[in-house]
Amino acid sequence: MKTKIVFSEKCLEYGSWHIESPKRVQRAYEILRERGYEFVEPEPASEEDLLKVHDADYIQLLKRGAIEDPDTPAYENIYEYARLSAGAAILAAKINGFSLMRPPGHHAGRYGAALGAYTKGFCYINNLAVAVKCLDKPTLIVDIDGHHGNGTQEIFYGDPRVIFISLHRYPHYPGTGAYSEANCLNFPLPADCGEAVYLRTLEEALRKVDMQKIEVVAVSAGFDAFAGDLASLGLREESYEKIGKILAALNKPTFFVLEGGYVGENIGKGIDALLKGFEC
Ligand code: Q9C
Ligand code: ZN
């Protein structure tokens, strides 16, 4: 049963000058198309869905485009693009698929920039958080983006039905995630620590979770821990296949939402490897 990719070309319409560029997702899309994946089109999330995660005043500011920070531009119509990316995460959760959309989401907290971070790190709406709230089931979130998912931590901190695991480079942007607290299990890792350390840490993290209490696994699937990318932990294509196998062993309905990763070739190959590992 091959995982379907949730994708709309609309997410390629803005921001060609930014490092979080349409090119990265477009290249990943081409690779997955060549490799025979099936694609499904998302619908935008409703405002009601967004309000399950974000403060009403923040959503109003986002609609007006009054949310710019040094990492996160106020693109024209960004509210609509962000709503479509969130809707794609909701659809991925419904069909156990992979949302290949931008903008990313895991740095967006309830009011925008999360846990005291200076910026929203290219994120507007926490797509994965919206999907988890809409599903409304006990969920394990596994964040494999190379940056700490500070927005996701802020949103689910203390939630008795959610466990949040994040492996990330530290010290590094956004500066949070140095230690575990409450239901948020953080695993700060040194730059370029490499696959062996990474996989050992992931297994250690997952052993801490009582899987009997979990019904769904939601993966914040960023690819900037790839060797040479923005938050490099020295991972390679094969590492993502091994991560996929480890996630499959949890034996739960699982969905994936793209976060960062700034080399399109690596995103496409990384997704294929992750899903190949997950499926066999
Ligand atoms: N301008 C994601 O991977 N870097 N976001 C700040 C100073 C921000 C990464 C450096 C990196 C954000 C989704
Ligand atoms: Zn990242």
Scan for tokens 């290249």, then name that residue. 27
Q: What share of the chain is helix, strand, coil (3-state, %, to 5)?
A: 40, 15, 45
For residue 123, the ligand 1 atom closest to its alpha carbon is 13
Structure tokens at 95: 């069909």
Compute the mean pLDDT over every residue in the chain, rounded to the nearest whole number.
98
Q: Is 103 in the pocket of ligand 1 (CB under 6 A)?
A: no
Q: Is 241 in the pocket of ligand 1 (CB under 6 A)?
A: no
By alpha-carbon position, which residue is closest to atom 9 of ligand 1?
A: 121
What pLDDT band is residue 80 in, cutting at 50, 70 and 90?
Answer: very high
Q: Which amino acid is at 99?
A: S
What pLDDT band is residue 233 in, cutting at 50, 70 and 90?
Answer: very high
What pLDDT is recorded for position 179?
98
Pocket test for ligand 1, best of 71, 220, 267 (most atoms within 8 A of CB): 71
* Residues constituting the chain: 280
Q: Is 112 in the pocket of ligand 1 (CB under 6 A)?
A: no
Average pLDDT of the segment spanning 223-252: 98
Q: Does residue 128 contact residue 152 with C-beta atoms inside 8 Å?
A: yes
DSSP string, 238-272: HHHHHHHHHHHTT-S-EEEEE---S-HHHHHHHHH
Pocket test for ligand 1, best of 18, 19, 20, 25 (most atoms within 8 A of CB): 20
By alpha-carbon position, which residue is closest to atom 3 of ligand 1?
A: 260
As annotated, the active-site residues are 107
Is pTM beyond 0.75 here?
yes
pLDDT tens-digit map of 111-155: 999 999 999 999 999 999 999 999 999 999 999 999 999 999 999
pLDDT tens-digit map of 55-75: 999 999 999 999 999 999 999
How many helices (H) and strands (E) would you count in the chain? 9, 10
- Nearest to residue 149, comparing CAs of 106, 198, 104, 202? 106
pLDDT at 1 over 80: no
Q: Is 143 in the pocket of ligand 1 (CB under 6 A)?
A: no
pLDDT tens-digit map of 155-211: 999 999 999 999 999 999 999 999 999 999 999 999 999 999 999 999 999 999 999
